[in-house]
Amino acid sequence: MSIFKQFDFSEVLNKENFEKKTLQYLKKHPCCKEKNCTHPLYQSDEHLWKDKDFYPIAEKVASIIFNHYKDNFNLNMRMWAYYQKKDSILDSYEWHNHYRGESKEELSFIIYLSDTELGTLFKVNQNIITLKPKKNILYAWNSKYEHTPELGKHLQNRVILAGDCLI
């Protein structure tokens, strides 16, 4: 049984060059303005979903969630960009999750905007599961799962949208 739900976002993402727009957003809105930031070097702030260019993506994420649940609820979303430069090497694991413990159900998601051979590793029970990425597919999972980018050399730019939702 897969821990992921998959949704094709090609219709939304193929309309414009979101890889380029993501890199532009990242330059203007880094994750932290602090010197002691613990986030990856190239990560944006968590307000990407509010940007006019990215709002259609956030709207599609929200519609998938609203269509999945029958009850009324509030949705609290965060979304950010993550980038690894071509020819960079990721050589250490950065295990983390996005669980905040603030609601009954918490979901995380990732969308690969560029083609990449390197995916994301997940700890599930005592096993490691590798998510092999497909461009423009949204992968969603329970936010409690620890995950990390797969180690290795990036043969091309790796551009990702990621986020989480409190339901």
What are the pLDDT digits (tens) for 101-148? Answer: 887 888 899 999 999 999 999 999 999 999 999 999 999 999 999 999
Q: Which CATH superfamily is domain 5-166 in?
A: q2cbj1_9rhob like domain (2.60.120.620)
Task: Compute CA 81 distance to the chain's CA centroid, rounded to the nearest angstrom.
Answer: 7
Q: What is the pLDDT of residue 39?
A: 62
H or E, element range at 59: helix 55-68
pLDDT > 80? residue 152: yes
Mean pLDDT on 154-159: 91
φ and ψ at 83, to 5 degrees? -140, 135
Q: How far apart are CA 41 and CA 64, in angstroms?
A: 31
Q: What is the pLDDT of residue 35?
A: 67
pLDDT > 60? residue 167: yes
Q: What is the pLDDT of residue 36?
A: 65
Q: How far apart are CA 47 and CA 163, in angstroms?
A: 10
User: What angle (nearest 5°) sits at the alpha carbon of residue 7, between those of residues 76 and 160?
Assistant: 70
Q: pLDDT per residue over 1-16, tens digit each? A: 478 889 999 999 988 8
pTM: 0.82
**Every domain of the chain and the residues it spans:** 5-166
Closest by CA to 41, choosing from 112, 94, 98, 106, is 94
Q: pLDDT per residue over 32-88, tens digit each? A: 766 666 666 678 888 998 899 998 998 898 888 877 766 666 778 899 999 999 999
Cβ contact 107:64 at 8 Å: no
Closest by CA to 141, choosing from 114, 106, 112, 117, is 106
Of residues 99 and 66, the one with the higher pLDDT is 99
Q: How far apart are CA 11 and CA 138, in angstroms?
A: 12
